[in-house]
Amino acid sequence: MPKPKRRRTRRPAGSPRTWTEAHVRRVFWRAGFGATAKEARTWSRRGKAATLDWLVADRPALYRGPAGTADGLALDPLNEFGHDKLWWLDRMVRTSHPLQEKMTLFWHDHFATRSQPTPLMLAQNETQRRLALGAFPSLLRAMAIDAALARFLSLTKSVKAAPNENFARELMELFTLGTGYTEVDVREASRALTGLRQARANGQTTGIVYDPTKHDDGVKTIFGATGSWGGEDVLRFCVQHPAHGPFLTAKLWDFFVGTPLNPVVRDKLVGTYVSSGLQLRPLVRAILARPELYANLTRPDMVKWPAVFIAGQLRTMGASVEVPDWVPLMASMGQTLFSPPSVAGWEWGPLWLSSNAMRARFKAASVLTGDGGPASVASSDVRPRMRPDQHMALALAAVGQPEITNPTHRALRRLIASYGSSPRSRERAQELQRSLRHLLISGPDNQLC
Amino acid sequence: MPRPKPHSACEDFHRTAATARHPSVGVTRRHFLGWGMGAGLALYTARALPLEHWMDGAQEAAAQNPQARILVSVFLPGGLDLLDSCLDTSQYGVYAGVRGSAARPETSDVLAGTSISTHPSLAAGQDGGLRALFDAGRIGLLPGIDYSNPDLSHFHSRRFWETGTITAAETTGWLGRWLDTNATPDNPFQGLSAGSRLSPTLLTSRSPVCSVESTRRSKLGIPGVSEPGLDRAMRAYGDLAAARRTDGTGRAAARASARYAQTVADRLEPLDDSGPPAPTPGDPTDVASVQAPISGYPPGSPFGERLRQLGFLLAQPLGTRIATVDCNADFDTHSDQPERLTRALSDVSGSLAAFQADLEARGLGERVLTFVWTEFGRRPKANRSAGTDHGAGGIGWVMGVRAAPGLRTEYPSLSDLDGHGNLRVTVDFRAIYASLIEQWLGTSAEGIIPDSRSFARIRLVT
């Protein structure tokens, strides 16, 4: 068996190159939905600072390439079942601002909302996208008066005579603090947050309005401060609370880096966040610049979220959303967009990978490599008597040049070898090529970034 | 039974609120825990075991102990209200006062030998639903179940119930720990979640476990690749999935789940869940008696369908010891509780009653005990949205031919609430866990439930 070829990105030890294609791929996967071969080349030449500046830049997102479809039909997220999810996947696949889209996904998990009318969910999604990298207090305020979230957490039913604690509790536990508050704070804050109700027209919720007659304007004590506090005050107290900076920083770290956060590093990052006036852009840039994000470049260990797995695969292959299969498959993988399992969002990390979820990822590879799929093998793609390295190169190019480990390389070379040193017929070469492409997508390596 | 200390106001909450959910702030998302990733992983290092070995795992386990008992854990997410589900009618006056217009009407229709009246929806379904199972002595009710100084966060409470510990520390699920201690090292079916995700209660440190969303069309195939090419490709997939000593937790999880997915597909492929299978000579899984198609599950209920598939799976010689099912209804009824419970409890009753009938029809009645739980109770006093906020003193029950029937724990008093207006907890859920482990699974609870000795046991099995 010929020796596996050394991968192009690998450099001699002690290389002065500190910003390689592998670095670009790592940060593009973590901050977005993967890098194409061309993006990896381009941004490795431009350097780390330019890459990070481009990723976090405050610029409008453009959606490139042909818009997604489902079985040949234009996506209709408001009216067609499942199209809302496909529509969002399509944003992830085509956006020119991947970090903005990745942060939108982060906020969807953070302000997890479910079981609300689709127009409200899509409006919430647009708000989260618009404010994805701005000032956290602005986003928090927009979420407190977001119709979908306010309905989901019963905020619109919380009135002076009977405050409902649901929103106030999640505001502190899940949205801003995690820790450092008491049951009394929850109850007092729920009083301060009373008075919002739904605006309705033709039986539909159109937004949230403030009704002072339902607001409790009495004196409350929240985090030890006493006054006739209202909703805005509660939100302000929460973001000014000393637990807030460390809480949000640790969660973003978990999202982008995933390894334990050293307290010294954390304090530095919190400093960046707080001194910027709770701006998200500088904090995220500082996290993306940390060396911990680039550890083990050839052996990534972060499990791709199901949405990231699908959107990233399509994006790096230069393909688009074309089939509705992603809706049931993503459900089987454990992530139905616009329907997180609870207000606490999804469980991250290895918990994404139940045996059933891995099965669904295998099936996703079948959709991509099957007839008409973007990674399908046409008879004209292969020739009889192709050499093993040609088979390998063709398969890798067809599925978006994913990073693979040496053991994977060897296992696939063994599969090629099992066909004889060069498959004699075109049919056999085609079959081998199908298997290679499928395994590159469905194999364990490709679930990690 | 021991009576938990009453709440001492908010200091207690400080203690538990300190268990937040992210690294460096307490309870984490368990990035660093998965399954099959602990010390025992050495078993699988360097190379994958041959596939045959995995298949043997399930069959061997089943063959060695064909009558092994099975524990099914059913989770009702969101915090099911005790009072509306199973009301102590002797406290009806206080109940009606605090629930106001959301209160259930008074009734003299109580479970035999008790003053408990079940929600009308709990009589929904096959042959009188859960209500009929109560009357038939197949359900033991656990009112007031929770833990001392309960944390009213869904996230914290759920985590405590899932791990069987009241700490912020990273740990495995309580059922996963039982598997790590008592089950075989090579059969993913031994701990099975019916549904797409793996229940966190089943997180192990080294034992394989699996989730099964569908028992139909289980074969893994590659489009346009037929035998013998498919066999070669699946062997390559097995190579890719072989564990390696240097794997990080994410990579170890990816490889382990790929192995388990392949095993599950291979094992389930010959079992046809769509009806009685065609007999295959020499196939030990072909047991006509366990294939009887079962009706009675509520049509269109995803929960019922999961239970139906689980009934089918438990009847196969797969060596399953622990199974989990999540109900998909949301019991977090902050508003419109009467309507929502009427709907959701009807699904619970119809689905679980059909499951019990199914198990008995398949001859599994003596082997399966079902334990139903929810993460906390709800506050007696209704809010103004015709709903209830998070509270304490919840509800659970054991169901089965061998379940000790009737009221197994003390019903909390509505006239003796804690400092937050919540029901007092009358039994710690860990006492129930320890009792289930000892009385049903027949093993020691030591090392599975921390401080298990400190919990007085409740008789749950006859």
Q: Report the pLDDT value the prediction gives residue B10, as an integer from 0 to 100.
A: 27
The secondary element (H helix, E strand) that includes residue B287 is none
* Cα distance between residue A424 and residue A404, in whole Å: 27
Biggest CA–CA distance in chain A, Å, is: 85
DSSP string for residues in A37-81: HHHHHHHHHH-HHHHHHHHH------B-SSPPEETTEEP-TTTST
Q: Report the pLDDT value the prediction gives residue B56, as an integer from 0 to 100.
A: 55
Three-class DSSP category at B237: helix
Residue of B155, B222, B244, B326 to mutate, testing the A interface (most A Cβ within 10 Å of its Cβ): B222
DSSP B328: -
Q: Chain B 124-183, CB below 8 Å of chain A: which residues?
A: 152-155
Is B381 in CB contact (< 8 Å) with chain A?
no
- CB distance B29–A348 less than 8 Å? yes
Percent of chain A residues topping a pLDDT of 90: 87
Say what angle helices B229-241 and B249-268 make with each other, to 10 degrees: 140
Residues of B in contact with A418 (CB under 8 A): 232
B276 in the same domain as B241: no
Residue B11, in any domain of the structure: no
Q: Report the pLDDT value the prediction gives residue A11, as an integer from 0 to 100.
A: 46
Residue of B99, B198, B305 to mutate, testing the A interface (most A Cβ within 10 Å of its Cβ): B198
Q: Report the pLDDT value the prediction gives residue B156, as an integer from 0 to 100.
A: 86
Query: What's the token pair of residue B34?
Result: 């998965």
Residue B224, in any domain of the structure: no
Residue of B15, B21, B99, B331 to mutate, testing the A interface (most A Cβ within 10 Å of its Cβ): B21
Mean pLDDT calculated for residue range A96-122: 97
B249 in the same domain as B193: no
Query: What's the token pair of residue A67?
Result: 């818009």
Rounded to 5 degrees, what angle do the CA atoms B207, B213, B216 make?
115
Q: Give me the phi and psi of A113, to 5 degrees please.
A: -130, 140
Q: How far is B67 from chain A (nearest CA, A)?
A: 26
**Closest to B202 (Cα-Cα) out of B60, B368, B64, B30:** B30
If you search the block for the tokens 């679930």, which residue do you land on? A447
- CB distance B224–A371 less than 8 Å? yes
B438 in the same domain as B354: yes
pLDDT for A14 beyond 70? no
B379 in the same domain as B364: yes
Percent of chain A residues topping a pLDDT of 70: 96
Three-class DSSP category at B135: helix
- CB distance B389–A166 less than 8 Å? yes
Residue of B384, B418, B420, B422 to mutate, testing the A interface (most A Cβ within 10 Å of its Cβ): B384
Is B220 in CB contact (< 8 Å) with chain A?
yes
- Given B77, B155, B240, which is nearest A173 (Cβ)? B155
Question: Beta strands B139-141 and B397-399: pairing type?
Answer: antiparallel
Residue B104, in any domain of the structure: yes
Q: How far is B457 from chain A (nearest CA, A)?
A: 31
What percent of the residues of chain B are helix, what percent strand, and what percent coil, each to the nearest 5? 40, 10, 50
DSSP string for residues in A305-364: PHHHHHHHHHHHHT-----TTHHHHHHHHT--TT--SSTT----GGGG--HHHHHHHHHH
- CB distance B155–A174 less than 8 Å? yes
B371 in the same domain as B241: no
How many Cβ atoms from other residues are within 10 Å of residue A383's Cβ?
12
Query: What's the token pair of residue B378?
Result: 């709800």
Q: Which residue in chain A has the smallest CA separation from B334?
A: A154
Residue B240, in any domain of the structure: yes
Q: Report the pLDDT value the prediction gives residue A76, as an integer from 0 to 100.
A: 96
* Cα distance between residue A24 and residue A8, in whole Å: 14
Residue of A26, A354, A427 to mutate, testing the B interface (most B Cβ within 10 Å of its Cβ): A354
Residue of B225, B246, B324 to mutate, testing the A interface (most A Cβ within 10 Å of its Cβ): B225
Residue of A215, A259, A355 to mutate, testing the B interface (most B Cβ within 10 Å of its Cβ): A355
Residues of B in contact with A371 (CB under 8 A): 223-224
Contact A220, A185 (CB under 8 A): no
- Given A166, A369, A444, which is nearest B254 (Cβ)? A444
Q: Which residue in chain A has the smallest CA separation from B200?
A: A351
Residues of A in contact with B176 (CB under 8 A): none
B420 in the same domain as B366: yes
In angstroms, the first-to-last Cα distance of chain A is 29
**Closest to A144 (Cα-Cα) out of A280, B21, A131:** A131
Mean pLDDT calculated for residue range A142-170: 92
Query: What's the token pair of residue B143?
Result: 């009112």
**Closest to B206 (Cα-Cα) out of B253, B266, B262, B240:** B253
Helix and strand totals (H; E) in chain B = 12, 12
Q: Which residue in chain B has the smallest CA separation from A431?
A: B225
- Given A158, A263, A443, which is nearest B240 (Cβ)? A443
B246 in the same domain as B157: no
Q: How far is B458 from chain A (nearest CA, A)?
A: 32
CA B66 to chain centre: 22
Residues of B in contact with A440 (CB under 8 A): none
pLDDT for A268 beyond 60? yes
Q: How far is A15 from chain B (nearest CA, A)?
A: 24
CA distances from B49 to A25, B191, B199, B239 (A): 33, 20, 26, 10
From B254, B269, B284, the end of a domain falls on B269
Q: How many residues in chain A?
A: 449
Torsion of Cα atoms, A145 then A151 then A156 then A162, to 10°: -130
Query: What's the token pair of residue B7?
Result: 């709440």
If you search the block for the tokens 């929806």, which residue do you land on? B121
Q: Which residue in chain B has the smallest CA separation from A432?
A: B229
| Continuous H helices in A175-334 | 183-192, 231-240, 244-256, 263-275, 280-289, 306-317, 326-333
**Prediction pTM value:** 0.84
B199 in the same domain as B280: yes
Residues of A in contact with B253 (CB under 8 A): 303, 349-350, 353
Q: How far is B208 from chain A (nearest CA, A)?
A: 10
CA B160 to chain centre: 14
Query: What's the token pair of residue B108?
Result: 């003299």
- CB distance B261–A431 less than 8 Å? no
Rounded to 5 degrees, what angle do the CA atoms B67, B69, B74 make?
145
Query: What are residue B203's DSSP bridge partners?
Result: none
Span A403-437, pLDDT tens digits: 899 999 999 999 999 998 667 789 999 999 999 99
Taking CB atoms and an 8 Å cut-off, how many pairs form between chains A and B?
266
* Cα distance between residue A81 and residue A85, in whole Å: 9
B278 in the same domain as B379: yes
Is B47 in CB contact (< 8 Å) with chain A?
no
B240 in the same domain as B213: no
- CB distance B210–A355 less than 8 Å? yes
Q: Which residue in chain B has the smallest CA separation from A183?
A: B10
* Cα distance between residue A352 and residue A335, in whole Å: 9
Q: Each residue's pLDDT tens digit in chain B (462 positions)?
A: 333 333 322 222 223 333 333 333 333 333 334 333 332 232 222 233 444 444 456 667 777 788 899 999 999 999 999 999 999 999 999 999 999 999 999 999 999 889 999 999 999 998 899 999 999 999 999 999 999 888 888 888 999 999 999 987 778 899 999 999 998 888 999 999 999 889 999 998 888 999 999 888 788 999 999 999 999 999 999 999 998 888 999 999 999 999 999 999 999 988 866 643 333 333 334 343 344 445 789 999 999 999 999 999 999 999 999 999 999 999 999 999 999 999 999 999 999 999 999 999 999 999 999 999 999 999 999 988 899 999 999 999 999 999 999 999 999 999 999 988 999 999 999 999 999 999 999 999 999 999 999 999 999 999
Mean pLDDT calculated for residue range A63-86: 95
pLDDT for A200 beyond 80? yes
- Given A157, A173, A349, which is nearest B250 (Cβ)? A349
SS (H, E, C) B405-433: CEECCCCCCCCCCCCCCCCCCCEEHHHHH
What single letter denotes the amino acid at residue B133?
L
Global ipTM: 0.92
* Cα distance between residue A132 and residue A151, in whole Å: 21
Residues of A in contact with B383 (CB under 8 A): 157, 162-164
Torsion of Cα atoms, B238 then B244 then B248 then B249, to 10°: 60
If you search the block for the tokens 């192709």, which residue do you land on? A386
Q: How far is B64 from chain A (nearest CA, A)?
A: 25
| Continuous H helices in B65-169 | 82-85, 92-99, 129-135, 154-163
Contact A261, B24 (CB under 8 A): yes
**Closest to A448 (Cα-Cα) out of A332, A340, A333, A352:** A352
Q: Report the pLDDT value the prediction gives residue B289, as an integer from 0 to 100.
A: 39
- CB distance A356–B385 less than 8 Å? no
B250 in the same domain as B279: no
Domain ranges of chain A: 379-447
Residue B132 domain boundaries = 29-218+272-454
Q: How far is A234 from chain B (nearest CA, A)?
A: 19
Is B251 in CB contact (< 8 Å) with chain A?
yes
Overall domain count for chain B: 2
Is B245 in CB contact (< 8 Å) with chain A?
no
* Cα distance between residue A141 and residue A278, in whole Å: 13
What single letter denotes the amino acid at residue B61?
A
Q: How far is A78 from chain B (nearest CA, A)?
A: 24
* Cα distance between residue B405 and residue A290, in whole Å: 59
* Cα distance between residue A338 and residue A111, in whole Å: 11
* Cα distance between residue A278 and residue A267, in whole Å: 14
What single letter denotes the amino acid at residue B343?
R
Say what angle helices A136-144 and A231-240 make with each other, to 10 degrees: 140
Contact A125, A93 (CB under 8 A): no
- CB distance B250–A359 less than 8 Å? no
Span A119-139, pLDDT tens digits: 999 999 999 999 999 999 999
Contact A415, B233 (CB under 8 A): yes
Average pLDDT over all residues of chain A: 93
- CB distance B232–A247 less than 8 Å? no
Residue B348, in any domain of the structure: yes
Q: How far is A288 from chain B (nearest CA, A)?
A: 18
Contact B20, B26 (CB under 8 A): yes
Is B193 in CB contact (< 8 Å) with chain A?
yes
B295 in the same domain as B194: yes
Q: Which residue in chain A has the smallest CA separation from B14?
A: A182
Region of B300 (left: φ > 0; alpha: ψ -120 to 50; beta: rest) is left
Q: Which residue in chain A has the smallest CA separation from B227?
A: A431
Query: What's the token pair of residue B293?
Result: 């198609």
Q: Is the dihedral of CA B172, B174, B179, B181 positive or negative?
A: positive
- Given B24, B35, B222, which is nearest A263 (Cβ)? B24
Residue B3, in any domain of the structure: no
Three-class DSSP category at A230: coil
